[in-house]
C-alpha cells in the first residue's frame, strides 16, 4: 500500500493546493523587505534587475528554503521553472477577501480573483541578450504588463532595456495603493514604454529611463525621464529617485528618498516623496511618506506594520491623510502565502472615504 499511497498523497496535496488557489480572491509581486533581510540587491533574486516578478535560480532557492515554515517533499520542489536551457517561466496568483467599512455607508464585502500572471525570460545569448515578458491572464483578457528586450554585460554590470516595463522609483511595494506609490504615480500597475539604461556595480544600483509617460497613454504627446540610485550594504540601503513628466495633462515632477535598515529580526523601510504637479491652476505640491517595519517572528511568519502620511496640497492646512496597516504573512510551504491584514485610513472628518477601514485575507501562490 505505501508505495502506492505516497505518490497519491503528494498528488492529492498538490491538487488541493491548486484548488485552494483557484477557489479564493491584490496585485503584483514584490516584497523588498525580503531583500533587506538578506542584505541583497533586487537583482540577486530576480531576473528583472529592478526587482519583482520572475525569480532567478537564487531567488527560487530562497523562496523554497528561506521563506516558508515547512518544506515540500523534495520531488515537488525540485522544478526550477526552466523549460530547456534558454527559457525560464514563473507565475503568480492572488485571490482576496475584503471587508470595507466606510462611515455612514453600508459595509462592503468583496471576494474574487485579483490576478493570474505568467512571466518568462528567454536567454537568446546567455547573460548578454534576453527577452522578458510579464502577462496578466486574469481578471479579464490577457494584458501585457512588461515586454522588453534586454542587453547586458555579465552580472548586469551594465544593461539596457527597450520595450514596456515598470519604472524604477522608490520601494517596489506589493501594495500598489500605498500613498507613496499613488502619489508618485509609479507602481506595479503603471508600466510605461521606452528605454532604460542601468548598472549593478559594487554596492550601487542605478537606472536611467526615458519613456512615453503613463499620463500620456493614448495621446502620444510628452515624455517621462526617471532616474534612481541605490547604495546597498548588508545592514541596509539608501536610495534617491527623481522623475519628470512632460504631459498635455500638466507637467509633473517627483523626487523621493528611501532607505532600509536591518536591526536583528526587524527590517525597517522608509520613503518620502515630494510631488510637484502643474496640472492645477496653481501648481500643487504633495508629500507622501511611508514607514514600515517587518518582524520576522520565525521562519514563515512575518508581521508587517506600516504607517503612511499624505499631504495632498502643502499650501492647504488641515487636509492631511494617514493610513496604518497591520498585516500578518504566513508562508506555510514554498510558493504559498496567506496574508491577513487590517488597514485604517484617517482623513478629514467630512470625507467618509478618507476614514474607512479595511480588513482583508489574501492567498498568494507563486513560483
Region 289-308 residues binding another protein, contact defined as CB under 8 A: 291, 293, 295, 303, 305, 307
Minimum CB separation of residue 27 from another protein in Å reads: 7
Q: Does the footprint of another protein cover residue 230 (CB under 8 A)? A: no
Are 89 and 118 spatial neighbours (Cβ–Cβ below 8 Å)? yes
Residue 277 to residue 210: CA distance in whole angstroms: 19
Segment lying near another protein (by CB under 8 A), choices 42-50, 120-128, 147-155, 274-282: 274-282
Q: Count residues near another protein (CB under 8 A).
A: 82
Q: Does the footprint of another protein cover residue 227 (CB under 8 A)? A: no
Minimum CB separation of residue 32 from another protein in Å reads: 17
Q: Return left, alpha or beta for 128; rule: phi > 0 is left, psi -120 to 50 is alpha, else beta.
A: alpha
Q: Does the footprint of another protein cover residue 104 (CB under 8 A)? A: no
- The torsion angles phi and psi of 364, rounded to 5 degrees, stand at -125, 120
Closest to another protein by CB, 88 vs 94, is: 94
Are 125 and 97 spatial neighbours (Cβ–Cβ below 8 Å)? no
Closest to another protein by CB, 67 vs 286, is: 286
Q: Does the footprint of another protein cover residue 30 (CB under 8 A)? A: no
| DSSP annotation of 55 | B
Segment lying near another protein (by CB under 8 A), choices 10-18, 41-49, 79-87, 133-141: 133-141
Single out the residue of 180, 347, 362, 365 in contact with another protein (rule: CB under 8 A).
Answer: 347
Q: How many CB atoms lie within 10 A of CB 165?
A: 24
Q: Does the footprint of another protein cover residue 319 (CB under 8 A)? A: yes
- Dihedral (Cα; 22, 27, 29, 32), 10-degree rounding: -140
Q: Does the footprint of another protein cover residue 242 (CB under 8 A)? A: no
Segment lying near another protein (by CB under 8 A), choices 9-17, 198-206, 228-236, 249-257: 249-257
Are 131 and 122 spatial neighbours (Cβ–Cβ below 8 Å)? yes
Using CA atoms, how far residue 311 sits from 42, 166, 212, 318, 354, in Å, is 30, 25, 27, 9, 12
Single out the residue of 26, 117, 161, 262 in contact with another protein (rule: CB under 8 A).
Answer: 26
Residue 236 to residue 180: CA distance in whole angstroms: 20
Amino acid at each position: 500500500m505505501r508505495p502506492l499511497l505516497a505518490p497519491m498523497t503528494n498528488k492529492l496535496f498538490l491538487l488541493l493546493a491548486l484548488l485552494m488557489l483557484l477557489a479564493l480572491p491584490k496585485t503584483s509581486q514584490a516584497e523588498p523587505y525580503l531583500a533587506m533581510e538578506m542584505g541583497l540587491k533586487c537583482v540577486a533574486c530576480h531576473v528583472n534587475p529592478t526587482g519583482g516578478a520572475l525569480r532567478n535560480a537564487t531567488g527560487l532557492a530562497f523562496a523554497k528554503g528561506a521563506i516558508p515554515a515547512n518544506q515540500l517533499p523534495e520531488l515537488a520542489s525540485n522544478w526550477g521553472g526552466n523549460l530547456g536551457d534558454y527559457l525560464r517561466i514563473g507565475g503568480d496568483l492572488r485571490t482576496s477577501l475584503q471587508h470595507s467599512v466606510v462611515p455612514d455607508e453600508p459595509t462592503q464585502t468583496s471576494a474574487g480573483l485579483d490576478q493570474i500572471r505568467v512571466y518568462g525570460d528567454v536567454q537568446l545569448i546567455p547573460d548578454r541578450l534576453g527577452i522578458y515578458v510579464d502577462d496578466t491572464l486574469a481578471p479579464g483578457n490577457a494584458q501585457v504588463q512588461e515586454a522588453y528586450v534586454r542587453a547586458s554585460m555579465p552580472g548586469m554590470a551594465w544593461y539596457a532595456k527597450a520595450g514596456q516595463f515598470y519604472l524604477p522609483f522608490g520601494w517596489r511595494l506589493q501594495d500598489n495603493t500605498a500613498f507613496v506609490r499613488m502619489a508618485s504615480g509609479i507602481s506595479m500597475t503603471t508600466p510605461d514604454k521606452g528605454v532604460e539604461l542601468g548598472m549593478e556595480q559594487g554596492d550601487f544600483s542605478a537606472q536611467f529611463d526615458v519613456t512615453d509617460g503613463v499620463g500620456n497613454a493614448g495621446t502620444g504627446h510628452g515624455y517621462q525621464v526617471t532616474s534612481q540610485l541605490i547604495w546597498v550594504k548588508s545592514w541596509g540601503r539608501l536610495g534617491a529617485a527623481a522623475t519628470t513628466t512632460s504631459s498635455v495633462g500638466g507637467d509633473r515632477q517627483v523626487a523621493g528618498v528611501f532607505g532600509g535598515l536591518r536591526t536583528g529580526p526587524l527590517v525597517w523601510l522608509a520613503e518620502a516623496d515630494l510631488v510637484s504637479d502643474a496640472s492645477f491652476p496653481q501648481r500643487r505640491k504633495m508629500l507622501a511618506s511611508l514607514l514600515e517595519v517587518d518582524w520576522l517572528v520565525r521562519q514563515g511568519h512575518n508581521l508587517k506594520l506600516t504607517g503612511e502620511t499624505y499631504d495632498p496640497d502643502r499650501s492647504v492646512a488641515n487636509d492631511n491623510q494617514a493610513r496604518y496597516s497591520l498585516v500578518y504573512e504566513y508562508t506555510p510551504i514554498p510558493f504559498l502565502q496567506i496574508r491577513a491584514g487590517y488597514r485604517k485610513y484617517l482623513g478629514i472628518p467630512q470625507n467618509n472615504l478618507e476614514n474607512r477601514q479595511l480588513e482583508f485575507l489574501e492567498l498568494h501562490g507563486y513560483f
